[in-house]
Amino acid sequence: MASIINQEIPEFSAEAFVNGEFKTITSEDVKGSWAIFLFYPADFTFVCPTELEDMAAHYEELKGLGVEVYSVSTDTHFTHKAWHDSSEAIGKVTYPMIGDPTGRITRGFNVMIEEAGLAERGTFLVDPDGLIQVAEIHAGGIGRSAKDMLRKVKAAQYVRENDGEVCPAAWEAGQETLKPSLDLVGKI
């Protein structure tokens, strides 16, 4: 499989359910700011609402960092509204819930389970240029952590703003970074 890191997000135009309204969202709308694409298998399931609720709990902090969150499944925007209206967990979601019934966006991010017509649990962090900086895919039974994604957002933003520096494993904002050089070879 070819790497998707530093690849541009696919072009798309899709309907989303956002704060009680339907809205068209395009790939062009995404560019210019940071974005998280949170793909999940299906509405009205089990692990999915826990993940979307977890992301909703961190949404204000992400917005404060200039990040928009887009959840995406192959359900329609109508189904997203029905789920939002009937689930206490999903009722907390205020970020856009994109419907991808044709699978175009899901395939564009290479997370389509073709035989099921559903998305894998894929998480992608996209920079303001529309380039993918983080790509993770989890098995269906393994839920993701918005808190860990928040840490990765801060690391990606730091690296973008501080040319020549890199963030080591488990780096948290405020901790020391590394400046790759010949002097560090074999000393870490």
Residues annotated catalytic, as ranges: 48
**Is 153 within 8 Å of 128 (Cβ atoms)?**
no
| Separation between Cα atoms, residue 121 and residue 104, nearest integer Å | 16
Instruction: Please provide residue 149's backbone torsions phi and psi, each rounded to the nearest 5 degrees.
Output: -65, -35
B/e letters for 79-89, b = 16+ CB within 10 Å, e = fewer, are bbbebbeebeb
Q: Tokens standing for 108?
A: 């564009």
How many Å apart are CA 109 and CA 119, to the nearest integer?
A: 10
